[in-house]
Chain A
Amino acid sequence: MPPLTRWFIKFSFVYLILGLLSGLFLAAQGVWNFYPPAALLFPTYFHLIAEGWITMLIVGVVFWMFPKYSMEKPRRSEELARASFYLLNAGLLLRIISEPANEYYAASVSFWAVLLTLAALLQWLGGMAFVINTWERVKEK
């Protein structure tokens, strides 16, 4: 399988573990209530699994397996695919740091808010890059 696919899949495995660990943390907090702010982690937990594990696994395998774009460029744009890798991962990693922090320091627009906005933009660009690079590979032959 192509190197980029391997990167996507290995990262997705790590996100799965991170996601499950945060879920475990949330569950423990639910039982023992040792750190009430932990509830702020819920969107992070959810997106680690939905975006980090599932979506990145899909993106990696789709990049590998979908029909050829053309004979000269079987996977269309390698650069755009690599860009989507960096954007999605940078966005998600920035998100998992800034999203809980932004809620925790909710009093005013802060440094974390700026990071969270940047994270949103990076994730969005990464997702759009993937859609653009994949659209024409959805074909009959």
Chain B
Amino acid sequence: MPPLSARFIRYSLIYLAIGMTFGALMQTNAALVYYPRLWKLLPIHIEMMMMGWFIQLAMGVAFWILPRWSSSPTPRGNERLVLLAFWLINLGIWLTVLEVLIPFSWLILAGRLLEVAGVTAFVAATWKRVKPFGKQ
């Protein structure tokens, strides 16, 4: 798989590991109620699972597997745009997550904005690769 896909997928696996750990901690607390402040992890759990795990795993695999441009120096299209998408999405996740530590709602707004920008960049870079065989 291309290095950029490997990057997306490694990050997605890390988010899965952290997200599942926070989820397990909260679920155990729901059962045994040992540390109620664990509920503050919920927004982090959600953001990491949705944007971190699902979306980035899908992007990594899509970037790898979708049809390529056979007669092009960049068979997978505009890789720099996809790399930009990667950074925008991850910065977005970190800002949204930071809000749990620093309760300043602008952080969530900024984070979501970056995530939207990142996903839009990815879609723009990937759209045309959804093509029939042979089409240039």
Hey, which chain B residues are within 8 Å of A103, CB to CB? 30
Q: How far is the CA of A95 from the CA of B23 in the complex (A)?
A: 12
A47-63 CB mask vs B (1 if < 8 Å, else 0) is: 00010001100100000
Q: Are A128 and B17 in contact (CB under 8 A)?
A: yes
> What is the distance, in angstroms, from A53's C-beta to the closest C-beta of chain B?
11
- For the complex, give the distance between the alpha carbons of A137 and B74 in Å: 24
Contacts of B53 on A, CB cut-off 8 Å? 55
Residues of A within 8 A of B9 (CB): 138
Residue B124 is within 8 A (CB to CB) of chain A in the complex: no
Residues of B within 8 A of A114 (CB): 31
Residue B78 is within 8 A (CB to CB) of chain A in the complex? no
Asked if B54 CB lies within 8 Å of chain A CBs, one says yes
Residue of B nearest to A126 (CB): B20
Question: Chain A 111-135, CB within 8 Å of chain B: the 1/0 string?
Answer: 0111011011101100110110011
Determine the distance from Cα of A95 to Cα of B10 in the docked complex, in whole angstroms. Answer: 28
Given contacts A58-B57, A124-B21, A135 and B13 within 8 Å (CB-CB): yes
Contact residues in B for A140 (Cβ distance below 8 Å): 1-3, 6
| Cβ–Cβ < 8 Å partners of A123 in chain B | 20, 23-24, 27
B27 touches which of A67, A120, A127, A131 (Cβ 8 Å): A120
Least CB separation from B60: chain A residue: A138
Q: A124-B21, A127-B20, A139-B1 are in contact. Are A109 and B13 (CB under 8 A)?
A: no
- Bound-state CA distance A98–B31 (Å) is 9
- Inter-chain contact B31/A109, CB cutoff 8 Å: yes
Chain A: minimal CB distance from B72 (Å)? 20
Whether, in the assembled complex, B136 has its beta carbon less than 8 Å from a beta carbon of chain A, the answer is: no
CB-CB under 8 A from A130, the residues of chain B are: 16
- Known: A116-B30, A139-B6. Is A131-B1 also a contact (CB below 8 A)? no
Q: Answer whether residue B33 sits at the interface, using C-beta atoms and an 8 A cutoff.
A: yes
Query: Can you spell out 27 A-B residue pairs with CB atoms less than 8 angstroms apart?
Result: A50-B54, A55-B53, A66-B1, A67-B1, A99-B27, A102-B30, A102-B31, A109-B32, A112-B31, A116-B27, A116-B28, A117-B28, A119-B27, A120-B28, A121-B28, A123-B20, A123-B24, A124-B23, A124-B24, A127-B16, A127-B20, A128-B20, A131-B13, A135-B13, A138-B1, A139-B1, A140-B2
- CA A135 – CA B49 in complex, angstroms? 17
Residues of B within 8 A of A120 (CB): 23-24, 27-28, 31
A92 to B54, CA, bound (A): 18
Q: Give the contacts of B9-40 with A (CB-CB under 8 A).
A: 9-10, 13, 16-17, 20-21, 23-24, 27-28, 30-33
